[in-house]
Every structure is written in structure tokens, then in C-alpha cells.
Amino acid sequence: MLDKHPRRMNATSAGIPARSRSFAMDRCIPTLILLLIGPLSIASAQEPAQQDNVSESSQQNAQIERNRADSPSPRTNVIDPTLDEVVITATRRSERAFDLSYTTHTITADDIRDRSYRTTPESLRDLPGIMVQKTAHGQGAPFIRGFTSFHNLFLIDGVRLNHSAFRSGPNQYWNTVDSFSLERTEIVKGPTSVLYGSDAIGGTVNAITKSPSTYGEGINSERRLYYRYSTAERSNVGRFELDVTEDEKIGVLIGGTFKQFGDLRAGRGTGEQPNTGYDEWDADFKLEYFFTPDTRLIIAHQEVSQNNVPRTHRTAFSKSFDGTTIGSDLRRDLDQDRRLTYIQLHAENMDSFVETMRLSLSWQEHHEIRDRIRSSGVRQKQGFDVGTFGASAQFESNTPFGQLTYGAEYYHDNVNSFSTSNQIQGPIADDASYDLLGIYVQNQFAISDRLEFLVGGRLNYARADARRVSDPVTGGRTSVSDEWWSLVGNARLVWHIVPDHVNFFGGVAQGFRAPNLSDLSRFDVARTDEFETPAFGLDPENYIAFEAGIKTQYDNWSMEAAYFHTLIDDMIIRKPTGRFVQGDREVTKVNSGDGFIHGIELSTSFRFRPDWTLFGNFTWMDGEIDSFPTALPSSQREPVSRLMPLTGQIGMRWDHPKRHIWLEGLATIAGNQDNLSFADKADTSRIPPGGTPSYTVFSLRSGWRINENVDLTVAVENLGDENYRVHGSGLNEPGRSLNVGLSITF
């Protein structure tokens, strides 16, 4: 459905107690704000560049080739490269990020290597507006503009990873995508339900996997090896890729990754966190066949297996951090296996009303098993199996009225579940199915040379059938069947204030999320000391998001700033029933969450000398929502759970004039988060009493291109050995760590 082929197709502080360190934020924020606004006087003095009289498509492809030619070493273009990247996910069309009416970011394979990101969720941690919470070392869940779990949509080459068994709150599912198999990741913030349907509220993330890249005359092949080691977890990660192509016609890429993570050592005061390590292996395959230079068939398969990933904070192995409670379970491990196979046809430059066509058929399997041993010695196993069939068709047409993007998509889940302590169902309903259907159209048109509009709409249908569900009152077997219709729209604009240099963007977008099987039928532990039981008669959640921002891009300076305000209506939230299940407070789901989340995001980069670049970002966020802080039937307005604290980053980078060596220093500062909901205060194993302490973390990174085939990266993360935790997490982040990466091509 989405294409990325680069050649043929349009691409797209030490010793100070944590509680006393809040001064760091107060001192660094003014510096960061000066960084954000300081270059204005310099940049505004620059004259706009003359526009070439070539087509948008040609400009994009030419820019991609220039970026490649000018990038003999990783991350040469550090002046906010995302603004000059071609992005597909935001509008389903190839467009420069600078020209989009959305806030977007791009993470490349080089970024993952240079910054030593361990997992796909962790690769998002340095972006403004995103907080990556980790319940466990193998469970990373990004909060994008205040939303997590199934309020964010994850795509793999355009295919939905989200399915109807996704549970609420931070979960582990995004960690089943191998970051080392990705060519690039595109992040679009805010609701995109018009184009992508249910779940696309906080943001949409599209992970675009690697493709064959050695095309040329005759048979060509290339082998690539990558190894990563980290002292904080004594980890070993290795990947091998084989890339084979024949002429300009056919190409195959085969890859495999093995990951071994030891127990994670946190900063000074906590040290080693036992029972946090795990193993994982990944495999991927992609075949491309070109019927013509503009038409290709793709067949791809990927799979991942994670073994015995511990949820440590719920076990007796956990360590207290600033007053958090110790768990009681003797074991709480999770196994996950996921497999995805798809076939896609991409055709461009078609000589008809339909100029571009993208067709996709996919099959995805997800298997999960949780092995729990309580403090009493009682052992319980539970899990689910989900099989998802997906089909989509997308078309693009240029008309006298604008550029049309339209299509339809359909997903069908078959779900089975089990539990050794429940003969009726597992964590979700057994013998169940779930359907999602969407039809959409979007038009992009120009009012004048400097003003562009985008409008769109989508009709959505969802249906759930669950045949084996535990009745929360009688304890017997019951069933659930329901369906929902939704109609959503969006309207956005881009005003080219200074063409090619300053753009104003903004708009309004509706978002929705249909109740899934986890909302309707979950029978499982929720938060600390909570047990969730099935809920019936739920309605879809509705959202309206407003956004306004500005993007600037000059030779030596770029900046992006945005304000967003998301209105929440009928959000499905947990409500206490007053009963107890297995010794925990019973909660169930209701449509009672009305409220809002709003915030400011800023990012900038300034090249003040030819080889020196200063960069940084800043995030402020707040929100309130109606919830049930007590067992009483009335709701109360309180802070949104797990709000991202005031956070900023500031860094500096030096590139050797010949671009074969680079050095980078980075400081990440997060304020104390004591703006807590009742549920946050009750989550005593993850959130300390009074809130999560502030922290400041310094890191140094470097890279050396030894020759055209060998790259070495070395990083010292958390130089001050800070003992800290990302808000809402179940374990602390790594202490001082040496990370080494070696990439070899032959």
C-alpha cells in the first residue's frame, strides 16, 4: 500500500538527590528557548531561493538523490532532516515534510544505528511530544501527545499491526517489530482517522521495512552484518542481510536478527535490576518484481519470537525506586510470536484517470502466552491467538478540482484465547471475530500560489462477535455481539508565507476508535490491584483535534513549532464496581471519559559553523478527563493519567569536513511529574509517592566511517550514572553504559 523503493518509485547531574534536581529544568529551559528563537534574526535576513520550473515529483526525486550523494557518512544532513524528507504516511501521497499540513517526523536506519536505539519503541524517545514508557525491559509503549496503546495506530508497510486483542494502557505489542529490519519510520501526530480508521488518535506510525537496493546490470549481491553491544545490559544483538538483484527486474532481501538482553543495570543507587533480561529472534524476507519501471509486485514475510520477557515490577525481584512498592509474584513472564505475510502491487504513472494504484493483501498471526506464579505458589497460564486477514486498495487521481486520494480497506480478526484458571475464556473472549471496514476520500487543492487546502472524509464500520465470554455477575458463559458506524472528516491548510522557507499549517481533524474485543470482554489483571471484567453496550470514542504551527527551513537553520488541543468525548475508561475478583478491585469499561489534552511542541536545529550544529526540542503538555477515582458511581474531573512531564533536549554535533567522523553530545531534561490522577497514585509499583522525580541525562556519541564498507559507532550513555525512571515505567532506565555498534558491508 505504501512504497519506499529509493530508485524507482516516488519515496517517500551526578550525586544530587532526584528530588532536588528540579533546578536543572529551570536553568536549561531558558537556554533551550533561546536556541529555538535565537536564529530568527539570522534566518530572516536570508533571501528566498528561486524556485525551479520543474514538477513536484521531479523535485522530490532529485532531492532524494542529492541527499544520497551528499551523505557519505551517517546523518550528514543534521539540519532537521525530517523537514526535507519525503513522507507518504501523512496524506498517503509522496510529499516533503516541510510542505505538509501535519507535524511529522522520520527516523531512518542510520538514526537507529547512530543513536544505538535498542527497540522500535525506544527509537521514538528523542522526538518532541513522545514519551516512551516501559513497563518491562521488553515492553515499550510510546505516549504520543498523551495517548498510548490502541489510541495510536502502528502500520508495517501500510498494514495494520493493531488488532482487536490490543489491551488498554501501555502494552508490549510495538516491541514485536524489529527495529534493525527498518529502512525508515514515519510518524504523523494527531488524528488521522480519515485515512487510517479506528485507533489513529494520538498519532500514526508507519514502519517501512528494508527492500533490495543493489539494482544494476546483471546479477548483483551484497551482504551486510551489524553487531551491537551494551554494557548496561550485557546485551548482544546481531543481524545479517543478503541483498540479491538481477538487472532492473527482480530483487530479494533476506534478513535475520538475534537479540540477547541480560539483566538491566540502572544508575547509582539501584544498580542491577534482576529478572529483566530476555531473548528474541527475528527474520524477514522481501521479494520485488518489476513489470515495468513504475509497476512492481512485492511479496514479504516477517516474524518475531520473544521468550520469557519478565514483567518485573509485579514480581518479588523488583527493586523499590523512591518509595515504589515491591511486587509479590514469583514469576510473571510473557512469550510473544508474530508473523506477517503480505503481497502488494504498486503502480504509478498510469495513463488513465487513476494515476497511482496500490493494492494489498495480508495475513498476520499474533500468539501471546503469560506464565504467572503467585506468591502462594499457584501457577496460571493464559494467552490468545489472533489471525488477521487484511485487504486494501488505494488510488490517486489528479483532477481539475485537486489531487484525489481515495480507497477502501478491510480487516477481519479470528480470535481464540485460553486460561488455566478460567474454562470459558482467556484474557479476552474465546471463539470471537472482529471486522473493520473503511471507505475514504481526500482532496488536496490550491486556492492560490501560497495557500493549499486538504479536506477528507471516511465512513467506518466495525463489528464484534464473541461467543465465549465470562459473565461478570453470574460467572457463567455469555456472548457479545455489536456493531458500530462512524463518519469522520478533516480540513487542513498550508500557507506558504515565504515560499520554500516559512510555512504556516493547521487544521481540524476528527478521530474515532471503535470498542475492540479487549474493551468488551477482558477478564484479566489491569493496573496494580485492579482486575478488569467484561463490559457490554459500549459506543465508539470520538475526538476533535485542533492544531496550528509554523515550519521554517533555511540553509543553516530550521524550526518547527506546533500547538495542539484534542477534545475527548465518550472515551472508554475503567469504572470500579465495588466488588473484588481474585483479591483485586474489580473494574469494568464505560463511555464516561470526557476531557481534553493540549500542548506545545518545538524543535530546532542551527548550523552556526560549517561543521558544527546546535539542536534541541521542547514539550509542554497538560490535560484533564472525567474518571472514577473511587468506587462511587459519580465521575470526577482529574488529570489525564501518565501525562508527559515538561521535557527538553539540547545537543551539539560536529562533523569532520570530509564527513567520515562525527561527534555528538546530548542532554535530556525532564521535570518532576506530580500532576497525577487517582489511578496514577494507586499504581504504587510503577509511580513513586508524590510522582516521578525529575532527571537530567548526558550522553556522548560518535561515529567513524573506517572505509566505504565499515562503520563504527561508540556511545557513552548516561554519563553521570543518573538513577531515573521515565514516568509510569516499571523499571529504571540504564545507568552509565558503553554502547558499541559495528556495520560491515561486503
pLDDT confidence of residue 559: 96
Q: What angle do CA 264, 269, 273 make, to 5 degrees?
A: 25
Cell of 537: 453496550
Q: How far apart are CA 361 and CA 353, in angstroms?
A: 24
Q: How far apart are CA 140 and CA 170, in angstroms?
A: 7
Residue ranges, the chain, pLDDT below 70: 1-82, 528, 631-633
Asked if 538 and 519 count as a contact pair (C-beta separation under 8 A), the reply is: yes
| Residue 692 CA, distance from chain mean position | 23
d(CA 377, CA 381): 13
Annotated domain spans of the chain: 18-745
Architecture of the domain made up of 18-745? Beta Barrel (2.40)
Instruction: Report strand pairing: 710-717 vs 402-419.
Output: unpaired
How much is the pLDDT for 528? Answer: 67
Cell of 277: 533480561
Q: What pLDDT is attached to residue 31?
A: 40
- Looking at residue 657, its pLDDT comes to 94
For residue 426, give the C-alpha cell.
Answer: 482467556
237 to 226, 229, 356, 512, 616: CA distances (angstroms): 8, 7, 39, 39, 29
Residue 19: helix, strand or coil by DSSP?
Answer: helix
What is the pLDDT, as a whole number, of residue 592? Answer: 94
CA-CA-CA-CA dihedral for 270, 275, 526, 516, to nearest 10: 120
**The pLDDT value given to residue 713:** 97
Angle at 87 between CA 112 and CA 339, to 5 degrees: 60
C-beta separation of 289 from 656 below 8 A: no
DSSP state, residue 315: B
How long is the chain?
746
Distance CA 511, CA 190 (A): 9
pLDDT score recorded for residue 287:
98
Listing DSSP states for 376-416 in one string gives TS-EEEEEEEEEEEEEEEEEEEEETTEEEEEEEEEEEEEEE
Strands 661-670 and 235-246: unpaired
The answer to whether the beta carbons of residues 492 and 505 sit under 8 Å apart is yes
Query: Strand, coil or helix: what is 181?
Result: helix
Residue-wise DSSP of 215-256:
-SSSEEEEEEEEEEEETTTTEEEEEEEEEEEETTTEEEEEEE
**3-class DSSP assignment, residue 358:** strand
Find where cell 501526530 sits. 189
- Are the C-beta atoms of 693 and 724 separated by less than 8 Å? yes
Q: In angstroms, rounded to a whole number, what is the distance separating the alpha carbons of residues 396 and 1?
A: 12
Distances in whole angstroms, Cα of residue 57 to Cα of each of 12, 54, 61, 63, 64: 11, 8, 6, 10, 11
Nearest to 452 by CA among 497, 489, 407: 497
